[in-house]
A and B are shown apart, each in its own frame.
Chain A
């Protein structure tokens, strides 16, 4: 018997089509068809998503467009197993970093094929060719931090793009080896790629004297301070990195992604505008009404990520952003107070 396009008990031919669709050449029409089919499938097979849609009186079969489907809050990944397959069949689980609420969000994967193809394809599409650079990472390798999607991402890229010759300067407990880091930068002749979270990069920049990296060097910033450092305004951050490492803003790339997504957006420092792969759509929702906002107006980011095959394609965030000509500008984040009361920061 021919399995349905998305076989709820397995993957069916639809899954193969999605894997093949994770290409820069994916057209809008194909995205629309696949996205609608995948969301309808997830509305049947993903229990928490099904509950959400039912509570919202949303009828998946009546929807004519993917953007009509409500997004699952990213915070739901902390509460429930957002799985479109039996949880026990997961081959990997990526976890968000702990918060004050003490429970990480968990993203279950039945296959990492989609995540990895999305990652590599978008990297090659948006970033310059970094295969000849000397990679130095302030992010732990996947072997040291198995539940980190970021570690998996960088390790995978290291193997596939840089031939696995990355120098790892951070362990699984996020302890950085600054001596190794500095030595690695000092001894290289060719261009360097420094990878790190914003926190790690800022700490590295502030930890010692300036080291002018060779021309063509690139810094890859994955964002995030994890509550361990006062957040530095973007301009100051770029100046700090530029002043310490001698890399201009045009050589500093920012990745916008999250554990609950399988795909990422990328921005070059001199524009600060993120661009996204063809298999991912970002919809901005008005804070007041929840309706989609027009370009130029700020709204909350909702991602419709075709590579999120095994969980839920539509994931909402509390990130505030605005579409500008050339890409998405991230403006900040709404903070749902983990504890009420005297909890707001002083400036």
Chain B
């Protein structure tokens, strides 16, 4: 961190980093992450506090006076990350909670130090009047939700939307090993497989590798448990039961936990990606042909691969299909804060800039 007198932004960063330390899934490791994010997106970590000279001109960024968030009900982590980013930007933050509540998130807000807590307001129901006063609107939701909110946002309000996505795993030829399967099991289990970073399918090069990896993954899943503390609802049990029957009717090989929906590995005959019901339900495909991704263009968030080095052709393939992140297998649920979520900057779209023409000075 800077050694000189902390600016308001750096003060907030210190407080937010302390408050969010250890929150899984947010990618927040410490103040350096936020400083790096500010430098990457705003060009300077003090751009929100004072004019800074960039590209030969004095420029200053301003955060929205009020940011209105609409939270998704599946997981708290997206709201938590939005909260952290909003607190760093500054201004008043309003979060409309889902009707089912968002217990972990509410607890986090209540535990914030007073200087931060005082800027956050939680709403149980949508308030169009408050949203109309907001300088920026951030929404997490399905297509219908995003479209409905977009319809209410004025042209002069900043708007950011995070829609429905899935994530995938990519098993490079010759890497179907027990270690990679164990890593995959971890990223499947995290957050109860409820998030957009939860893998739904693993793509293998051919049938033999798919069967090998599927068997290893089944063994790995049978030795792990769901990691979310939410348990499995009756509705999820029913959805898993249906998804298993559907796979069986297709003639796919179905490896499954006995006595409940704890985990399911389907080795598909058809190279087709589909979103599953969660609860450790994952499908193994026997193809890595580019066409497999075609139906999901723009709808895949992240891909984990069984390597530390990303083959150049894969990077091109993923990029051309709108995938915004590649990680090592096992790391899907641990995105870095610097990741551009859904391929878009996290802070830059929310701020407004004032700049002096080059050659001018600021008193």
Q: List 6 A-B contacts (CB under 8 A).
A: A76-B249, A288-B237, A339-B164, A339-B196, A340-B195, A342-B74
Give the interface SS of chain A, mostly helix, strand, loop or mixed.
loop
**Residue B222 is within 8 A (CB to CB) of chain A in the complex:** no
Top 8 closest A-B pairs, CB basis? A341-B196, A343-B164, A55-B248, A339-B164, A287-B234, A342-B72, A342-B140, A287-B238
Asked if B250 and A76 sit within 8 Å, CB to CB, the answer is yes
Cα(A160)–Cα(B80), bound, Å: 60
Asked if A338 and B275 sit within 8 Å, CB to CB, the answer is yes
**Residue B329 is within 8 A (CB to CB) of chain A in the complex:** no
Q: Which residue numbers of B lie inside 8 Å of A, CB to CB?
A: 70-74, 78, 96, 98-99, 125-126, 139-142, 144-145, 148-149, 162-166, 193-198, 200, 234-235, 237-239, 241-243, 245-246, 248-251, 254, 274-275, 277-278, 295, 299, 301
Q: Inside 8 A of B194's CB, which chain A residues have their CB? A: 340-341
Known: A102-B295, A230-B144. 17 other contacts (CB 8 A): A51-B249, A56-B248, A73-B245, A75-B246, A285-B238, A286-B234, A288-B237, A318-B239, A334-B238, A340-B74, A342-B74, A342-B140, A342-B142, A344-B141, A345-B142, A345-B145, A346-B141
A341's partner among B74, B238, B241, B295 (CB-CB below 8 A) is B74
Residue of A72, A230, A318, A344 most packed against chain B (CB within 10 A): A344
**Residue A337 is within 8 A (CB to CB) of chain B in the complex:** yes
Asked if B99 and A347 sit within 8 Å, CB to CB, the answer is yes
Q: Inside 8 A of A227's CB, which chain B residues have their CB? A: 144
Cα(A305)–Cα(B200), bound, Å: 34
**Residue A91 is within 8 A (CB to CB) of chain B in the complex:** no
Closest to B296 in A: A339
B246's partner among A73, A338, A345 (CB-CB below 8 A) is A73
Asked if A342 and B78 sit within 8 Å, CB to CB, the answer is yes
Cα(A82)–Cα(B250), bound, Å: 10
A287 and B237 in contact, given A341-B164, A344-B98, A347-B98 (Cβ under 8 angstroms): yes
Cα(A75)–Cα(B274), bound, Å: 12
Asked if A340 and B198 sit within 8 Å, CB to CB, the answer is yes
Cα(A339)–Cα(B278), bound, Å: 11
**Residue A70 is within 8 A (CB to CB) of chain B in the complex:** yes
Cα(A192)–Cα(B213), bound, Å: 62
Q: Inside 8 A of B145's CB, which chain A residues have their CB? A: 344-346
Q: Inside 8 A of A1's CB, which chain B residues have their CB? A: none
Q: Inside 8 A of A75's CB, which chain B residues have their CB? A: 242, 246
Asked if A334 and B98 sit within 8 Å, CB to CB, the answer is no
Cα(A283)–Cα(B239), bound, Å: 17
Q: Inside 8 A of A342's CB, which chain B residues have their CB? A: 72, 74, 78, 140-142, 162-165, 196
Asked if A51 and B198 sit within 8 Å, CB to CB, the answer is no
Give the interface SS of chain B, mostly helix, strand, loop or mixed.
mixed
Closest to A56 in B: B248
Cα(A51)–Cα(B251), bound, Å: 6
Cα(A49)–Cα(B70), bound, Å: 44
Asked if A334 and B235 sit within 8 Å, CB to CB, the answer is yes
Q: Inside 8 A of A82's CB, which chain B residues have their CB? A: 249
Q: Inside 8 A of B126's CB, which chain A residues have their CB? A: 346-347
Cα(A230)–Cα(B98), bound, Å: 17
Closest to A52 in B: B249
Q: Inside 8 A of B238's CB, which chain A residues have their CB? A: 285, 287-288, 290, 300, 318, 334
Interface string of A59-84 (1 = CB under 8 A from B): 00000000000101101100110100
Q: Inside 8 A of B193's CB, which chain A residues have their CB? A: 340
Cα(A338)–Cα(B239), bound, Å: 12
Asked if B274 and A101 sit within 8 Å, CB to CB, the answer is yes
**Residue A265 is within 8 A (CB to CB) of chain B in the complex:** no
Q: Inside 8 A of B166's CB, which chain A residues have their CB? A: 339-341
Cα(A230)–Cα(B142), bound, Å: 13
B70's partner among A230, A316, A341, A346 (CB-CB below 8 A) is A346
Cα(A290)–Cα(B241), bound, Å: 8
Interface string of A71-108 (1 = CB under 8 A from B): 01101100110100000000000000000011000000
A73 and B242 in contact, given A79-B249, A79-B250, A341-B198 (Cβ under 8 angstroms): yes
Min CB gap A136→B, angstroms: 29
Min CB gap A288→B, angstroms: 4
Cα(A346)–Cα(B126), bound, Å: 9
B235's partner among A55, A287, A339, A344 (CB-CB below 8 A) is A287
**Residue A269 is within 8 A (CB to CB) of chain B in the complex:** no
Asked if A344 and B74 sit within 8 Å, CB to CB, the answer is yes
Q: Inside 8 A of B99's CB, which chain A residues have their CB? A: 347
Q: Inside 8 A of B239's CB, which chain A residues have their CB? A: 318, 334, 336
